[in-house]
Amino acid sequence: MGEEILRNLRKDFLVEFRSRFALNVSIAFAVIATVSLSLTAGGTPFSPLVQSILLWIIIFFSAMNGLSHIFVREEDQATSLFLRITVSVDSVFISKFLYNQIFMMIIIAVVTPLFLFFLQIHVALICYFICTAIAGGMAIASCTTIVAAMVAKAGGRGSLFSILSFPLLLPVLWVSISSTRGALDGSSPAEDASLVFLLAFSGFISAISFLLFRFVWIEE
Amino acid sequence: MTSARYRIEARGLTKRFGRNLVFKDLNLELETGNSLCVTGPNGSGKSTLLKILAGVLAPSEGKVMYTDIDRGSVLNEWISCIGYSGPLINPYDDLTAMENISFTSAGAGPSRIDSLLHRFGLTAHKDKKIRFYSSGMKQRLRFILAELNDPPVLLLDEPGTNLDESGRHMLRAHLDEASKEKIIILATNDGDDQTICGREIRLG
């Protein structure tokens, strides 16, 4: 199984980095949104709460542009049957899940420094800020993997993915925003529980998704 | 892998898409060394039956069982025992034939890969991206991918499609040889392909 997961992960990265479609679209969105925001703001100072809301809105929509691609591409290019007969159901889910986690970390790694730089934001608790960004990113990728698998089989995939993901991600965004605000203004991270919540939420959704993926993947 | 003996049993297979009944109460049993040809008009459910036997499509009723005869065990997941080739199997266009082969390979050695590429005439094209392949070359590659891991069961949907005369000869020779030590199920209406099989079921 481990060998199957690695083969599929390697294939997904090879296909993605040969076209770079999803990554380019997501990073382009993140850069455009951040630069436009900083130009529009024109040096106006935002409160830490507004800054963290803006950061997570940009992360959310950048992710929405790319996270569904991992399953949608298989349907668009009609390769899903080839994948089904080559790799077992569990290996498909785990490899796509890992791919989305790595993809999300790349988005976070690009968006966050850009955002801090262009909006001239000072982070009071840098380690806590990084942990929040990573935990929030993991939770977003965990929730959206199963949604992407379901949406890939439907029509109107692009908009459907954002719409279906949003209610599932609402608690994640809420907690991530509040936790990021704490890291920016240096208020005592009384919301330490928020990191635990984000990790627990990721674990819970991932486990449920793993168990249910078989019913999405095998056609009825 | 082909030294092991397997049995496929399908009992009471029925498939419906909505209200449309494709086939009903289909039974079959095959063991290593048996081959079966599934024939029937377009839309009769040949490809659907092969997908069900491969485990990628659930039947509406009935069940499929794969048994390892030597061990006497029923397999829970049989994807690794199957080589499946058909017009709906599309290798990754952005990858080369070798990259698709390495994605599919579960331990196939370089000698097996080279011998299949040579046998199906793709050695000179192995480093080309699939998007630049002709439909006949893609069909040859599909067959290589299906045979790569030397699976004990071959499910072939319209295997002769898009192949030229030499491709058909190669396929025919390969299947004649493989039919002695594998279970082969062909879905085809091509009379030449049908002669390979010992048994036939007609759908529709």
Find the length of chain B: 204
pLDDT of residue A140: 93
Does A18 touch chain B if contact means CB atoms closer than 8 Å?
yes
pLDDT by residue for chain A (220 residues), tens only, comes to 788 899 999 998 888 888 777 788 888 888 888 888 888 877 778 888 898 999 999 998 888 878 888 888 888 888 888 898 888 889 999 999 999 999 999 989 988 998 888 888 888 888 889 999 999 999 999 999 999 888 888 876 667 888 888 888 899 999 999 889 888 888 866 557 888 889 999 999 999 999 998 888 877 6
Interface of B with A in 112-171 (CB under 8 A): 145
**What φ, ψ does residue A211 adopt, rounded to 5°?**
-70, -35
B-chain CB neighbours of A220 within 8 Å are 57-58
Contact B158, B188 (CB under 8 A): yes
How many Å lie between the alpha carbon of B107 and the closest alpha carbon of chain A?
10
pLDDT by residue for chain B (204 residues), tens only, comes to 556 788 898 899 999 988 889 888 889 988 888 888 888 888 888 989 998 988 888 899 999 888 888 887 877 777 778 889 888 888 998 899 999 998 888 777 888 888 888 888 888 888 889 989 898 889 899 999 998 888 888 899 888 788 788 888 888 888 888 888 888 898 888 777 777 777 888 887
Per the CB < 8 Å rule, is B95 touching A19? no
Sheet of strand B20-31, all strands in order from the earlier edge strand to the far edge? B20-31, B6-17, B61-68, B73-75
A-chain CB neighbours of B144 within 8 Å are none
Does A7 touch chain B if contact means CB atoms closer than 8 Å?
yes
Strand, helix or coil for residue B114: helix
The DSSP letter of residue A122 is: P
Interface of A with B in 75-114 (CB under 8 A): 77-79, 81-82, 84-89
B-chain CB neighbours of A18 within 8 Å are 94-95
Nearest-angstrom CA–CA distance, A79 and A82: 5
pLDDT digits (tens, 9 = 90+) for B72-97: 787 777 777 888 988 888 899 889 99
The alpha helices in A42-156, defined as continuous H runs, are 48-66, 69-76, 80-86, 89-118, 126-151
How many Å lie between the alpha carbon of A157 and the closest alpha carbon of chain B?
21
Q: What is the ipTM, given to two decimal places?
A: 0.83
> A121: closest CA among A57, A188, A45?
A45
Report the alpha-carbon angle A193-A196-A199, nearest 5.
150
Nearest-angstrom CA–CA distance, B183 and B153: 5
Sheet of strand B199-202, all strands in order from the earlier edge strand to the far edge? B82-85, B153-157, B183-187, B35-39, B199-202
